[in-house]
Structure 1
Amino acid sequence: MNFKPDFQRRVADAACPPLAALAIGAHRATFAQAYRLFQAAIGVLGPPAFGLTAIEHGGEVVPVEERVVSETPFCSLRCFSTRIRGRPMRMLCAPLAGHRAVLLREAIASMLADADVCVTDWMDARDVPAAAGQFRLDDYVRMLEDFMRRLGPAGLDVVAVCQATVPALAAAARLAAAGEPELRTLVLIGGPVDARLHPTMLGRIAATMSPQVFLQACTGPVPPGYPGAGRIVYPGFLQLPTLASGQPDRMLSLMLGALAPPWAQGGAAVAESRAAATDFAAMIDMPAEFILDTMRTVFREHLLPQGRWYIQGEQVRPGAMRTTRLLTVEGERDTITGAGQTHAAHKLCSALPDACRIQATIPACDHYGLFSGPPWRHTVFPPLRHWLNAPARAAASAGVVDASQPQPASMN
């Protein structure tokens, strides 16, 4: 599919008058100029690093190894592991929603205390050559399926955040429907599983904006000089103000914290604030076709909750899941994902026994607090950690070894 706006196609077909062609040329020049200015601004600091090099375990400092274990042109499965054997594996599905996966650094660091962690680390679409083809929502689901198989679903705990909740649930459902081993645990945090419920401002925009308006107002080709030159993208310089409008108080807080002098709140606090602001502003371009798919499937036609989502001719059936432990988490003050949208997964996963499911709404917590900052550290992660570690506790109390995990052994 050609993702140029309709009026651009008419120019390409030499079927529009010279004045229209001149207007299009001006639009492209303005887009390219804004694009380069934004890239130059964020390029001063460079891509933020995860910086997770060690953990404390048993009173010792244990090195953390960072490596890519699987990759596609659009995403790498980046794993953080230690030499401690017998630890469970957890897969953190970062959203493809504009931010780099490093925005989940604090969540990864927290989970590393108990497990090795792999995260979906998204490529900036500007760096993906056009020859790699397009990337759609269905491709996202199949990619997560492959990653889950790579890590071994029977012993895998998957934690999906925000936009990633929808494809993660779909991937888990497809594994179960195919008769493959199910995920051990699936945690869905602050995502639009059923966007019909209490739609937010951003959700209403996604539901009502036509594809033509989106393409004309929000996309453009990556300029020459980048590996992805010519790819039609939703660029970072247009995403950032949109995200800020959805939660302006957070954006203001980040900026004020980053600009504060060290004596105002302490050097460590200022450094943390500046790192958070840098992570938030380090946007990546997203493929335009992926955004269009998401707008249609999730926000406009609500295919998943209505049982009308088909991938490669097969219906996505969360009801096929029988043994996966399901936890959904929402923030009481989340203005990005509406109330009840994530908890709706329980209705879809109708075959799971009550003992395998739980939902939690975090008081006074906004969207970003669900995976970062004090709300994550003090309110969200402690019960999440307890839920994730429950199988190991049960196995230990029964005096049996969890067969889904490697045999415990001393460090090498």
Structure 2
Amino acid sequence: MWYAFIDAQQRLARAMVGGVRSGSESGLGLQAGWLAPEQAADAFSCWLLRSTCAFGQTPPFDIRSIAGNGSRVTVDESVVASLALGALLRFKRNPPAPCADEKLPVLLCAPLAGHHSVMLRETVETLLEERDVFVTDWADARDVPPEAGPLSLDDYVRAIESFVGTVRAFGSPVHVVAICQASVAALGAAALLAEDGAAPIASVSLLGGPIDTRLNPTVTDRFASSHTLEWFHDNAIDIVPPPYRGAGRLVYPGFIQQAALFAAHPERRLRLEADYWSRWLAGDMSGAQRALRSANDYAAVLDMAECYFLDMLRVVFHEHLLPRDRWSVAGREVRIAALRDTPLCTIEGDSDEITGAGQTHCAHALCDASPLRAARQLTIEQCNHYDLFIGPRWRDAVHPALREFWSEVEHAAPEVRRPRRAAKGSVNRRSA
């Protein structure tokens, strides 16, 4: 297979730019400052690493402060839980004065569909304007030793269950927000928790999630369903080579995903690159810094474990187990109807080329909702898949809708209205 050969080419690309003083080997480029027009070599190095999928390390979130209520609020980032398949990051606001109307935190379930969670940097920054945010930061499968297990879809569902419990240990319920493929795992985890009566969730919000891909299937859906799991195993799976910790693990490699993403959405990659280069050439270094970070975040891809990749194809695109009420996680039946009293918000884009119309909204019917529970179903105009969580449509339409929904939930349920302080040392930190 190609993994060892491609990895050698990526290492060569990193070696070519290793001496560049901007630190572009890490794929960050402008993190420590910005590139002056005369630093053309640095700018080219950043582009080379993005184009060859050759980042030596993942760009960090690096969110130090955000604007909120007319002032700057500093932000502390920490790892509050760690599992073999990923970590739970906490972004804590530090307002200059205590807020009388403290908001419940958000657990942002990042999709495991090729990108690192840092692609959601703008999403996190927007949410931090008024709430603390927890983010699932899934590990690159190439860095997870084979003895850690297969990293199946079941494992990710149970990880979200665990992470909800971790957030709960800080003293408050949490609004769960899941994006794209994470909607399947998050909805399953929420249903299992509701069935067990454990770790109450304040609300669940699904953005562009493929809950039932039989509805208005997209090109992506049709491709996934028209090829057998054996075909994907033979044509999309490779073996992680040494010296990575995951050497010997079967994965769907990041470099294949990058090629697939570019083929499916060439306009997005070209738009990000054009924005960066046009600002850089025009001498708009502040704008170029923001554009470069966005381009680097989008280009930071990871390997997915074969087991998870094939599980998603089978459960979501081939057998449609979730909408058929036939899905089991580690021997536990997932009953979505258990969420009938849990506030639910679903948001779709009318131009979503990845998740077809109705595929996310159908979750309301599956939950057999109580007429007394808060619910919202929105379709955003002139909105594609990425617009649901990044860019102007996210900031001007999606996020305001979520804020309104959360406010409704918090005012309707006094018991979840305000976070409580966790007892010192109450958070359970697990190591990989």
The alignment's TM-score, normalised by the length of structure 2, stands at: 0.82
Q: State the distance in 2 between where 1:64 and 1:109 align.
A: 10
What SS class does the counterpart of residue 364 from structure 1 fall into? coil
Match of 1:309 in 2: 327
Q: State the alpha-carbon separation in 1 of the partners of residues 298 and 77 from structure 2.
A: 22
Q: Indicate if the aligned counterparts of 1:156 and 1:185 stay in contact, CA closer than 8 A.
A: yes
**Counterpart pick for 2:148 among 132, 141, 148:** 132
The correspondence of residues 308-347 of structure 1 with structure 2, limited to 5 A, is: 308-347=326-365
1:103 equivalent among 119, 123, 129: 119
Aligned to 1:10: none
Q: Deviations over 1:146-183 (max 9, x none)?
A: 11122129721000000000010011111111122531
CA contact (8 A) 1:126 1:227 kept: yes
Deviation at 1:45, TM superposition (A): 6.8
Greater CA drift, 205-214 or 88-97: 205-214
Matches within 5 A, 1:78-117: 78-83=89-94, 86-117=102-133
Determine which of 278, 286, 298 is the counterpart of 1:268. Answer: 286
- Per the alignment, in what secondary structure is the counterpart of residue 155 of structure 1? coil
User: Do the aligned residues in 1 keep the contact of 2:104 with 2:417 (CA within 8 Å)?
Assistant: no
Q: 1:184 to 1:402 in 2, by over 3 A?
A: closer
Name the CA shift for 1:374/1:267 in 2 (closer, same or farther; >3 Å): farther
Deviates more, 1:287-296 or 1:321-330: 321-330
Read off the aligned partner of 2:353 and give its amino acid letter: T
- Could you tell me which amino acid in structure 2 is paired with residue 96 of structure 1? L
Q: Which residue pairs with 2:215 in the alignment?
A: 197
Classify the secondary structure of the residue corresponding to 2:181: helix
Q: Give 1:93 deviation, angstroms.
A: 0.1
TM (normalized to structure 1)? 0.85
* 1:5-404 to 2 correspondences below 5 Å: 28=1, 30-38=2-10, 40=14, 41=49, 42-44=53-55, 46-83=57-94, 86-152=102-168, 155-262=173-280, 264=282, 266-353=284-371, 355-393=373-411, 402=416
Take 2:9 and 2:276, find their aligned partners in 1: how far apart are those partners? 21
Distance 1:267 1:179 in 2: 52
| Whole-angstrom CA distance in 2 between matches of 1:301 and 1:168 | 19
Cα distance in 2 for partners of 1:401, 1:137 equals 33
Could you say what secondary structure the match of 2:220 adopts? Answer: helix
Distance 2:393 2:67 in 1: 22
Report the Cα offset of residue 251 of structure 1. 2.2
C-alpha deviations, 1:172-223, integer Å up to 9, x for none? 1111111225311100000100011111111112212222221221111111
Q: Tell me, which stretches of 5 or more residues in structure 1 are unaligned? A: 1-27, 408-412
Q: Is the 8 A contact 2:180 2:210 kept in 1?
A: yes
Amino acid at match of 1:229: A
Distance (whole Å) between structure 2 residues aligned to residue 102 and residue 352 of structure 1:
36
Are the counterparts in 2 of residues 65 and 82 from structure 1 also a CA contact under 8 Å? yes
Q: Which moved more, 1:180-189 or 1:133-142?
A: 180-189
Once the 2 structures are TM-superposed, how far is the Cα of residue 301 of structure 1 from its aligned partner?
0.2
One-letter amino acid matched to 1:79: R
| Equivalent residues of 1:173, 1:319 under 8 A apart | yes
Q: Does the aligned pair in 2 maintain the 1:182–1:323 contact within 8 Å? A: no
Q: Secondary structure at the match of 1:360?
A: strand
SS at match of 1:389: helix
User: Residue 108 of structure 2 contacts residue 177 of structure 2 at CA under 8 Å; is this kept in 1?
Assistant: yes
> 2:138 and 2:199 mapped to 1: Cα distance?
26
In the aligned structure 2, how far is the partner of 1:322 from the partner of 1:232?
Answer: 39
Q: Is the 8 A contact 1:247 1:336 kept in 2?
A: no
User: Is the partner of 1:32 in helix, strand or coil?
Assistant: helix
2:419 to 400, 405, 412: 405
User: CA shift at 1:285, angstroms?
Assistant: 0.5
Structure 2, unaligned runs of 5 or more: 15-48, 422-432
Conserved? CA contact 2:176–2:204, under 8 Å: yes
Following TM superposition, by how much is the alpha carbon of 1:54 offset from its aligned partner in structure 2, in angstroms?
Answer: 1.6
Identity of aligned residues (%): 41
State the AA in 2 paired with 1:53: R
Q: Partners of 1:130 and 1:403 in 2: how far apart?
A: 43
Are the aligned partners of 2:411 and 2:417 in contact in 1 as well (CA < 8 Å)? no
Instruction: Give the secondary-structure state (helix, strand or coil) at the position aligned to 1:67.
Output: strand
- Bigger fraction of residues in helix: 1
Give the SS at the match of 1:334. coil
